Homo-oligomer: A and B are copies of this chain.
Amino acid sequence: MTETVKDPIRPTDDEARALACGLIAGARFAALGVTDPETGFPAVTRIALGSGPEGGIWTLVSGLSAHSRALRADPRASLLVGEPGPKGDPLTHPRLSLQVMAEPLAPGDPRRAAARARWLADHPKAKLYIDLPDFFFVAFRPVSGALNGGFGRAFRLTPEDLA
């Protein structure tokens, strides 16, 4: 086997950065990975995804959910974005795995009103639950990214690559 096969990571270029940022911008939802505080197992659930009032990667979650309890115990998380279409090999569809720190918006945070307006503009159906007392916003701060642009097209990304 050649060295190229053993290390499938390519040097990050502008095309990879643009693909990663496009996957984030186009994501209405994501697979969220957290660590289950009771068992230590990873736990993957689906969450809504959107932007905060000044961009970034945000979600709106219920405090009653298992993932929000897990994030209170350990804010280290992962997000997978980039959904395959109904046809073709789903493993050839580009996707981005992010390692992120979850930063919940505290009650009374002055950004709440702008975040609410931005979220409802992008997720109109959220009006059914956005004002329930257990729902709150979380901002995800990227730590690193792994972009898979299809077979043999893998890249590592820094927070700067994703800004």
A interface residues (Cβ-Cβ under 8 A, vs B) = 1, 5-6, 8, 28-29, 31-36, 39-48, 64, 66, 76-80, 82-84, 89-91, 93, 95, 97, 99, 123, 125, 128-129, 133, 143, 146, 148, 151
Contacts and interface: CB of A to CB of B under 8 A. Distances in A.
B77 A46 contact: no
Given A8-B64, A66-B146, A90-B28, A33 B44 contact: yes
A89 B35 CA distance: 26
B99 A43 contact: yes
A8 B132 CA distance: 14
A81 to B, nearest CB: 10
Contacts of A77: 41-42
